[in-house]
Amino acid sequence: MIHNLGQENSILNRFLSELRDEGIQKDSMRFRRNLERMGEIFAVEVSKTLEYVPQEIVTSLGVAEMNLPMEEPVIATILRAGLPFHQGFLNYFDHAPSAFISCYRKHTTEHEFEIKLEYASCPDLTNKTVILVDPMLASGASLYVTYRELKRFGNPKHVHIATVISSMEGLNYLRRNLPLNDVTIWTAAIDEELTVRSYIVPGLGDAGDLAYGQKTE
């Protein structure tokens, strides 16, 4: 199942427009904050799918019965671009444990690359709900590699993939390669074009560089 939150009119679209705007995105602090705010909005939407149980809350004047989540999901992200987006989820799922995956594109030719995975820090995922966050879903290769790596730490009961901008090609790649009964994809925009170097058009550029400065290849 794919949820495109950008199809609905909400304040999310303002934050997304600022992330795309080449003038506004020069302010790296604002870029990071907008990614964080996107994460907060996504967190609310994903929270609606969780299981809840009634609990009695004692106030100074009595007892209120409220429905509260049965569990805290595990928030996982791909370093480094995913960190501000990840923080937005943690702002709302503030008791949630985290997982971090270090992987990157290693270009073998000008137009070809392989995904190199170097490091994973992760709690036990057995029967957990996992929210895997990454701002950009381009080819889908890095998310697929990350998903497979997370499975080493236990078999989650469900995985939510949250991405700010997706390419249609990347979504189709995940549809072909992931068990879609166990995966839900959340995005704020679906862009049609993917370049030969796997950059999304119109996209927004390199999210990691815009958030933390340019890197050397």
pLDDT tens track for 72-105: 999 999 988 899 999 999 999 999 999 999 876 6
Q: What is the pLDDT of residue 217?
A: 61
Answer whether residue 107 shows pLDDT above 60.
no
Per-residue confidence at 112, pLDDT binned at 50, 70, 90?
A: low
Domains of the chain: 2-50+61-212 (3.40.50.2020)
Count Cβ atoms within 10 A of the Cβ of residue 199 and give its class: 0-12 exposed, 13-18 middle, 19 or more buried.
middle
Query: How far is the C-alpha of 209 from the C-alpha of 12, rounded, in Å?
Result: 22
Using alpha carbons only, give the angle 99, 114, 211 rounded to the nearest 5 degrees: 50
Predicted local confidence at residue 81, as pLDDT: 87
Band of residue 133 on the pLDDT scale cut at 50, 70, 90: very high
Find where tokens 């997370």 sit. Answer: 150
Average pLDDT, the chain: 92
Global pTM reads 0.92
- Predicted pLDDT at 123: 96
pLDDT band at 118 (very low <50, low <70, confident <90, very high): confident
